Amino acid sequence: MPSLRTAEAAISISPNPLINALGWLIGLVVACGIVVINSETHTDLAPTILYITLLLMAANLFSINAVISIALMCILLLTAMFLYNGGYQRWDSTTGFFRCLTALSAITFLALRSKYAADRLRLNEVYLIGAQRLSQTGSVGFRGDGEEMSWSDESARIFEYPLTQPPTAAMVVARTHPDDLASVYEVFAKAARHEPLIEIKHRLLMPDGRIKHVHMIASPLFKQQESCEYLGAIMDITASKEAETALFCAQAQLAHVTRVTSLGELAASIAHEVNQPLSAITSSGEACRRWLDRPVPDLNEALQSLDRIIASSCRASDVISRIRALSRKCDPLRQPESLNNIVSETLGLVQQEMAHHNISPQVELLAFSGQVQVDRVQMQQVIINLIINACHAMGAVKVRDRVLHVRTWISDDEAVVEVADQGSGIAADVLPSLFTPFFTTKESGLGMGLSICRSIIDFHGGRIWATSTVGQGTSFKFALPLLTSGGAN
């Protein structure tokens, strides 16, 4: 981890004692030299002041204390020289001495001011470099036409170029991942159009094959008719991207495990779903055989039986492929889907489960043309989870009251799905913990279902929430951003 100490080492704000002592020594030698030479040659005081000015300028390299000490030493030596030469006996030399003293004080004041400003500047630079190191954020400056560019050491470090190599747009392009080149060229185009804010997140491909993720944000510093100078920050977000990816993988794996677990719960239901078309195939096959077994085979009826066999086997294979999709371990694939279709398909999968619990579903699917960008399997997982929970919650309710409402509608620019039961309900103090991992009130519960539902809905840019009244039932709703503004038909 880069540290502030490293940055301080790069720019020293307080010179070490050796340099201070050296400053003293040089000051003493030069001042004494000036005094001796001037007293021997009886030179005017003005050139002496010039030398001393140079000395003070040189002292700018040292600490403020050294500058004050050198200035005081010079004033003392000047006074001693004035007294030694008996200058006080002549009026013109006395006035000259005081003029020099005034000039020297003014020069000392200016030298101190510049020294103070320089020190503050160096301190700020240390803070800036330290902060850039710690946050792994470099600064960058570039002209809108891409002709001139400059960056801080941290930026050079992020792009892994030598600190001394002046940056160019070509160097940035050379490090950009080939798949992200178009986005980088788009940034150049935006800069050429002098756009007020430029932001890009892209990948770098290092010569050794490593991938880095960077986030750059820039806005114009100076904007004139023809040219525009941008100032930006480049952040190395590789670590957070990797953590995000690891979290995403872990969530996907967990989602898969719980999906398979709930499939286990649905086994009876699934068996029934597959069994129905299989029975239909058997009876249609037998019918077909009878039509053909006649003295005069009825080919027409036999053909119709064959058509029914084909349709039933298609239904069976459809059910199996839906179940296979649910149990398959694959990366989420978001594509435009109709939420109504997903809800209907999912209801088909849990139909027998509901029948088993004597639950009558009341489905109100609002026909809407708007679509959502979702992973179909993950959405099914959310709905199955909510329905299974609702079935459990209505276990203790009178059979005639076991009604499950499943509704969809559009609200503003969101598609909303509701799964509402008339079960036990949830106490108000428990509601906030519902979506917390491992929260369960069931003896054999894992407490991951709702937590996974939330991470799936979050991944899709939506939101999920619950409202409940103890003894009356619970309603779970989730809303997803609409892909197109179709609205209800």
Q: How many residues does the chain have?
A: 489
**Rounded (5°) CA angle 72-77-80:** 125
Nearer to ligand ADP, 176 or 474 (CB): 474
How buried is residue 227: exposed, middle or buried, by Cβ count under 10 Å (0-12/13-18/19+)? middle
473 near 465, Cβ under 8 Å? no
Tell me which residue has its CB nearest to ligand ADP: 449
Binding site for ligand ADP (CB under 6 A): 385, 389-390, 393, 421, 423-424, 426, 434, 439-442, 445-451, 474
- Supply the minimum distance, in Å, between the C-beta of residue 390 and ligand ADP: 5
Minimum Å gap between C-beta 154 and ligand ADP is 44
Among residues 188 and 439, whose Cβ is nearest to ligand ADP?
A: 439
> Is the CA virtual torsion 281, 283, 285, 287 positive or negative?
negative
CB of 468 to ligand ADP, least distance (A): 7
Nearest residue (CB) to ligand ADP, 40 versus 443: 443
CB of 393 to ligand ADP, least distance (A): 3
Closer of 148 and 418 to ligand ADP (Cβ): 418
Nearest approach, Cβ of residue 435 and ligand ADP (Å): 7
DSSP track, 369-395: ---EEE-HHHHHHHHHHHHHHHHHHTT
Q: In sequence order, what are the residues at sequence separation of 6 or more whose Cβ sits closer than 8 angstroms to the Cβ of residue 300?
A: none
Q: Which residue number, 113 or 442, has a Cβ lying nearer to ligand ADP?
A: 442
Distance CA 269, CA 355 (A): 9
Q: Which residue has the tokens 């114009």?
A: 220
> Least distance from C-beta 391 to ligand ADP, angstroms?
9
CA separation, residue 290 to residues 276, 298, 304, 306, 311 (Å): 21, 9, 13, 12, 19
Nearest to 216 by CA among 245, 163, 166, 175: 175
- Strand runs (DSSP E) across 33-173, as ranges? 137-143, 149-151
Instruction: Give the nearer residue to ligand ADP in terms of CB position, either 100 or 426.
Output: 426
Region of 330 on the Ramachandran plot (φ > 0 left; ψ -120 to 50 alpha; else beta): beta
Name the residue nearer to ligand ADP (CB basis): 106 or 428: 428
Task: Look at residues 304, 278, 277, 276 and name the one whose alpha carbon lies nearest to residue 290.
Answer: 304
Whichever of 166 and 395 has its CB closer to ligand ADP, that residue is 395
Q: Nearest approach, Cβ of 340 to ligand ADP (angstroms)? A: 22
Spatial separation of the C-alpha atoms in residues 232 and 192, rounded to whole Å: 15
Q: How far is the CB of 474 from ligand ADP (least distance, A)?
A: 4
| The two structure tokens encoding residue 267 | 């086994």
* Run of H or E residues at 221: strand 211-223
Q: How far is the CB of 357 from ligand ADP (least distance, A)?
A: 12
Q: How far is the CB of 243 from ligand ADP (least distance, A)?
A: 25
DSSP letter at 438 equals T
Q: Which residue, 277 or 423, is less far from ligand ADP as judged by CB?
A: 423
Measured from the CB atom, is 230 or 478 closer to ligand ADP?
478
Sign of the four-CA dihedral 379, 382, 385, 391 = negative
**Shortest distance (Å) from residue 169 CB to ligand ADP:** 52
User: Radius of gyration of the chain from Cα atoms?
Assistant: 41
Closer of 297 and 395 to ligand ADP (Cβ): 395
